[in-house]
A and B are shown apart, each in its own frame.
Chain A
Amino acid sequence: MIALQRRADPSRLMGYLAPLLALGITLLAGLMLFAILGVPVGAAFYAFFIEPVSSLYGWAELGVKAAPLIIIAVALSIGFRAQVWNIGAEGQLILGGITGAAVALMFHQNDGWYVLPLMVLAGIAGGMVWAAIPALLKTRFNVNEILTSLMLTYVAVLLLSWLVSGPMRDPDGFNFPESRMFHDAALLPRILEGTRLHAGAMVAVGVVLAGWILLTRTLLGFALRVNGAAPRAGAHAGFSQPKLIWTALMIGGGCAGLAGLFEVAGPSGQLLPSISPGYGFTAIIVAFLGRLHPIGVLFAGLIMALSYLGGESAQITLSLPLAVTGVFQGMLLFFLLATDVLINYRVVFK
């Protein structure tokens, strides 16, 4: 009979090993899934994991997809550590895209250097405003932030759909639900010629460093961690709970908004009815896979970006449905949560 026995102290080794173990099991389960779907396993493996990164363009695309995931996931891990469950990053991302695009459209006859910085500020502010609603409702009225932030995501999707088919629609666009194309001053600079890799990738690395410094080297980071591990101890130490909730949500909203602006001003160059393929939700998995640690998030973001690219490549070469990506991501999180048991428990055979 197999049983779990609680360890005296959490195992650090298992903390690092569990994500790798989870990745390995996900890989095996994924290959089994392909076999069940009747797809040649070798070809599927190649299409999913090798083909996307077998060219420089592929690596650049990896960066394009990883940047928003990393930016959001670093911010979410800070919140999750403080037990603030902002799961509406997708909505905050959309709002950032909308407000950033609004600035670009406002200045569409103007190519000053200040357009892009203004868009960045507007994007961050848009995400923050959207995250301020759950923060306010949580601190003032004790409302669960999980449900409010998620409800606001649905509202954001509808808001975007209305804006691109109404007020922000391209006046010369034959009624397509799209905004005008931005002009060059409103586009992110590319950092690799001939690819779509944009400056957002560098910002993502910056966000990782900033997150790492915040969590490990500042009092605020310490307060956030204490609040998550032992809320009452935090209260006795004088860390204000409402202030930490606000901080966590503002960081989350700001970063998600920034990521949304990057999507709009980077890969798409205009406001489209769909800004992201669920980066805001996938970032939750990235945060957990990265152990809620900025450096871990960096690697986890690259892995999850590969799952997007692999899904697209498998769709093209093997005509597998894109939904395979979602199944992979869900399985990965399941296996991660399952292997996490090894951190606090020992498996014993009785």
Chain B
Amino acid sequence: MNETLMLTVLTIITAATPLVYAAIGELVVERSGVLNLGVEGMMLAGAVCSFAVAHHTGSATLAILAGLLAGMLLASIFAFLTLSLQSSQVATGLALTIFGIGLSALLGQSLVGIAFAGLPSLHIPWLSDLPVVGRLLFSHDVLVYGSFAIVLLVSWFLNRSRAGLVLRAVGDSHDAAHALGIKVIRVRYLATLFGGGCAGLGGAYLSLVYTPMWAENMSAGRGWIALALVVFAVWQPGRLLLGAYLFGGISILQLHGQALGINVPSQLMSMLPYLTTILVLVLISRDRGRIRRNAPASIGQSFYPTS
């Protein structure tokens, strides 16, 4: 296999993985009827915390855990405000992003300019030694495998498990779910925390693997792209994986464009992921019926138990 092609595929995987994490988390959150616009903030918190822990302890496991917890911590603020205090989900999500950007910059100011070795790739006996396939499929770090596992898990959970059915019921009609005796608020709390954890892991991947360092605002809009990916996926985990890899491919065009002799200023190439996001949103959203059939019916609405 051609070396350039091999490298391209490997970079696409690293570019797509943070998007997979952030988007699959948000997908579960939205399926429970909650719209959390704070993904960008939670990703940054995850990125800075996992990098700080990696730098101070040198332990990759602890670093990943820190990213997960940081995301969940921010998500818990969002959950408390929107679910317990009935605040507007849109406004609270925006606040979470603004807060996350500021907090991560504050926490990370002493970490700027420090390099980190990156996550080791897992060596799987026999499989990793296979020619081509070994390097392509079996030479990644634990977070890449984890991203596939989590998509499979969420897919099974939503479509095959009883708990998933409960979550979808809450997302489609919280009043009906409440009447059935389901604890709507508790389900939404759990979903929101799961989404925060996933966004944190996506952030951890950015600062541990994608560019193993910390820089202010390093997620560069990926949290928002993840939100768009959920729409692209019409709330289906399988399609989400496809979308994330599509975006991964587009976002690395800027890296390889120059090598391929495309003479366009780098800033214009960097616009591609954002412009593609808009284009994709147009293509999906124009089919109003499809959105209405697939979007969780009570998304974005506060729930106040009346009895």
A: residues with CB less than 8 A from B are 4, 6, 85, 87, 133, 137, 140-144, 146-148, 150-152, 154-155, 158-159, 161-162, 165-166, 281, 284-285, 288, 321-331, 333-334, 337-338, 340-341, 344-345
Residue of B227, B265, B271 touching A147 (CB-CB under 8 A): B227
B286 at the interface (CB under 8 A from A): yes
A333 with B267: in contact, given A137-B282, A321-B105, A341-B86 (CB under 8 Å)? no
Q: Which residue of A lies closest to B265 (CB)?
A: A162
Q: What 3 A-B pairs have minimum CB-CB distances, sorted nearest first?
A: A326-B102, A330-B99, A323-B105
What is the CB-to-nearest-CB distance from A34 to chain B, in angstroms, rounded to a whole number? 12
The answer for the CA separation of A321 and B48 in the assembled complex, in Å, is 15
B: residues with CB less than 8 A from A are 37, 77, 81, 85-88, 90-92, 94-96, 98-103, 105-106, 109, 216, 220-221, 224-225, 227-228, 231, 265, 267-268, 270-271, 274-275, 277-278, 281-282, 285-286, 288, 291, 304
Contacts of B95 in A (CB 8 A): 285, 330, 333-334, 337
The answer for the CA separation of A330 and B92 in the assembled complex, in Å, is 10
What is the CB-to-nearest-CB distance from A62 to chain B, in angstroms, rounded to a whole number? 21
A146 touches B37 (CB 8 A): yes
Contacts of A143 in B (CB 8 A): 278, 281-282, 285-286
B87 touches A329 (CB 8 A): no
Contacts of B275 in A (CB 8 A): 151, 155
Contacts of B224 in A (CB 8 A): 147, 150-151
A338 touches B286 (CB 8 A): no
Residue of A165, A288, A345 touching B91 (CB-CB under 8 A): A288
What is the CB-to-nearest-CB distance from A5 to chain B, in angstroms, rounded to a whole number? 10
The answer for the CA separation of A133 and B270 in the assembled complex, in Å, is 19
Contacts of A333 in B (CB 8 A): 91, 94-95, 98-99
The answer for the CA separation of A166 and B288 in the assembled complex, in Å, is 41
Residue of B77, B86, B98, B221 touching A285 (CB-CB under 8 A): B98
Residue of B99, B231, B268, B304 touching A162 (CB-CB under 8 A): B268
What is the CB-to-nearest-CB distance from A288 to chain B, in angstroms, rounded to a whole number? 6
A327 with B106: in contact, given A146-B37, A155-B274, A333-B98 (CB under 8 Å)? yes
What is the CB-to-nearest-CB distance from A310 to chain B, in angstroms, rounded to a whole number? 14
B265 touches A151 (CB 8 A): no
A6 touches B105 (CB 8 A): no
The answer for the CA separation of A320 and B291 in the assembled complex, in Å, is 47
Residue of B81, B92, B281 touching A144 (CB-CB under 8 A): B281
The answer for the CA separation of A344 and B109 in the assembled complex, in Å, is 40
The answer for the CA separation of A338 and B80 in the assembled complex, in Å, is 9
Contacts of B267 in A (CB 8 A): 158-159, 161-162, 165
A327 touches B274 (CB 8 A): no
Residue of A151, A330, A341 touching B102 (CB-CB under 8 A): A330
